[in-house]
Amino acid sequence: MKCISCEKETSESVQFPCPKCGEKILRCKRCRSLSLEYKCPKCGYKGP
């Protein structure tokens, strides 16, 4: 399990589908609370 924003292994993560292509995106709690930007590895969609 790797966070998509900070690329660190994480146990406390939140998973959600990409709004554009539905690919599963994984983010750790820290990045979520900081609202760090993520990028979908499949379609390149960027979101907060």
Q: Considering the complex, what minimum distance in angstroms separates the CB of residue 7 from Zn ion?
A: 7
Number of C-alpha atoms within 13 angstroms, CB side, residue 14? 12
Pick from 42, 46, 47, 48: which binds Zn ion (CB under 5 A)?
Answer: 42
Q: Does 13 bind Zn ion (CB under 5 A)?
A: no
Pick from 16, 23, 37, 46: which binds Zn ion (CB under 5 A)?
Answer: 23
**What are the structure tokens assigned to 6, written together?**
């900070």
Read off the amino acid at residue 44: G
Instruction: For residue 24, give the 3-state DSSP assignment.
Output: strand
**What are the structure tokens assigned to 19, written together?**
């709004």
Q: Which residues bind Zn ion (CB under 5 A)?
A: 3, 5-6, 18, 20-21, 23, 28, 31, 40, 42-43, 45
